[in-house]
Structure 1
Amino acid sequence: MALTDDAIGKIKNMIMSGELGPGDRLPREADLAARLGLSRNSLREAVRALSMIRVLDVRQGDGTYVTSLDPGVLLDALSFVVDFHRDDTVLQFLEVRRILEPAATALAAERMSDSDIEKLQALLDELGPGPTVDALVANDLEFHRRIAAGAGNGVLCSLIEGLSAPTTRARVWRGLTQEDAVSRTREQHQAIHDALAARRPDLARSWATIHIAGVEEWLRQAL
């Protein structure tokens, strides 16, 4: 593992120094191994590790390339890690959401286009009266995804999307067991939308905090 870590560090240094940039092709394996003073096995393991976290892109029959290094691409690895969460950590994910999403919602109130805010209202209107829990959760996920995107910060958006999956089961559970969950969610979504439409970042932040904290508090009591 130490040799692989050393190989990873040397490739990382080549990228950080600018010797290799986004989209660049790595030298042939034998040449790169000799140049870096590595065994081909260590280099191969390093390339495999870096491809798993989307730093490198191995193309069969073509070669190995540095990816775009776009934050959204690199943070895709977060979802892989998140998939291994345990049910008893879901409150921790909700705490992180409570920190990040209100900030994103405040930014969206300043940056989201009028057209996207109108589409957000249309999304809420799609539910109609008496939606199923599955329909509500799907709508909820898309609602928050659009707001995160509307914040205009790719890193923040990727983090929020990556943290969304672990809390989906809690949202479904709440919708099935809490009597007023559907109406409360719809009311809070509408309040968030209205704050966005009014271009009031502080109000949008407050409603987003109330919304996520409500799910968190319900889950604490349920557990």
Structure 2
Amino acid sequence: MAVTDEAIEKIKGMIVSGAPRPGGRLPGESEPAAGLGPSRNSLREAVRALSLLRILDVRQGDGTYVTGLDPQLLLGAMSFAVDFHRDDTVLEFLAVRRMLEPAATALAASRIGEDQLDALSAQLDALGAEPSVEQLVVADLEFHRSIVRSAGNSVPCSLLDGLSGPATRARIWRGLSQKDAAGRTLREHRASLAALREGDAEAARSWATVHIASVEQWLRGTR
């Protein structure tokens, strides 16, 4: 094991054991409790790597602290990695999204508030009948994010945010080349909203599945 990897594992072990806890300060290089690597260079490299993953927060002149370790913060790094995907893996990302999002949407049916539904409906009305591809993509991302967030679980929300990179590009491509893509998207969104407003979890699940599957079907036809 490389010395930097060894230092990373030791820091990980400290955090997992609860010393320090989220928000707590990591022992400094000169503190006897550190014992994190055979050299200061390896420790610094380990800290740099873990700060990029948003596990550690380096505060100049103050020390190194463990972040809050919130799912949204930690899984945000996944979005950066996902952006390096190959174009031929877009369908794989969409398949994962199809596993997660319908379940979260079904859960949202019993938790989303009328004010949230009204806000989403107003956003759809504001788009009009023929939004630009850019407007549609932004609205589509916010629509799905708002619904999944209302399910009350930050983990699927963060995971789906991380998977949105390739899916976003697929939606842009679809909007540029498929007839009535905007109209179909808006109709599917309104159907999802109607199911959510009625508290019909299974209908909401079905419409979320249909919406994602339609993008997958279109992509398969273009390969």
Q: What TM-score range do you get, normalising by the shorter chain?
A: over 0.9
User: Is the contact between residue 33 and residue 39 of structure 1 (CA under 8 Å) also seen in structure 2?
Assistant: no
1:130-164 deviations in Å (ceiling 9; x for gaps): 22222112211111111121111101100011111
Distance 1:107 1:87 in 2: 31
1:51-105 deviations in Å (ceiling 9; x for gaps): 1111100112221100001111111110111121121111111111111111111
TM-score (norm 2): 0.95
Q: CA deviation at 1:36?
A: 3.9
Mark the runs of 5 or more structure 1 residues left unpaired by the alignment: none
Bigger shift: residues 128-137 or 53-62: 128-137
Q: Matched residue of 2:68: which SS? A: coil
Distance 2:134 2:44 in 1: 44
Q: Kindly report which structure 2 residues correspond to 1:128-147, keeping only aligned pairs within 5 A, or say none.
A: 128-147=128-147
Are residues 1:156 and 2:156 paired?
A: yes
Q: CA deviation at 1:9?
A: 1.1
Q: CA deviation at 1:37?
A: 5.4
Distance 1:97 1:174, change over 3 A: same
What residue in structure 2 maps to residue 165 of structure 1? 165
Are residues 1:55 and 2:52 paired?
A: no
Mark the runs of 5 or more structure 2 residues left unpaired by the alignment: none
What residue in structure 1 maps to residue 19 of structure 2? 19
| Matched residues, number | 223
* Identity over aligned pairs, percent: 64
What residue in structure 2 maps to residue 94 of structure 1? 94
Bigger shift: residues 181-190 or 33-42: 33-42
Are residues 1:190 and 2:190 paired?
A: yes
Distance 1:153 1:62 in 2: 34
What residue in structure 2 maps to residue 118 of structure 1? 118
User: Is the contact between residue 25 and residue 65 of structure 2 (CA under 8 Å) also seen in structure 1?
Assistant: yes
Distance 1:139 1:43, change over 3 A: same
Distance 2:125 2:150 in 1: 19
Q: Matched residue of 1:65: which SS? A: strand
Bigger shift: residues 32-41 or 84-93: 32-41
Distance 1:171 1:13, change over 3 A: same
Distance 1:194 1:150 in 2: 16
Q: CA deviation at 1:34?
A: 5.5
Q: CA deviation at 1:129?
A: 2.2
Question: Structure 1: which amino acid aligns with 2:67?
Answer: T
Q: CA deviation at 1:33?
A: 7.4
Distance 1:57 1:149 in 2: 26
Distance 1:194 1:34, change over 3 A: closer
User: Is the contact between residue 28 and residue 34 of structure 2 (CA under 8 Å) also seen in structure 1?
Assistant: no
Question: Structure 1: which amino acid aligns with 2:211?
Answer: H
Distance 1:36 1:139, change over 3 A: closer
Distance 1:122 1:2, change over 3 A: same
Q: CA deviation at 1:32?
A: 5.4
Q: Matched residue of 1:182: which SS? A: helix
TM-score (norm 1): 0.95
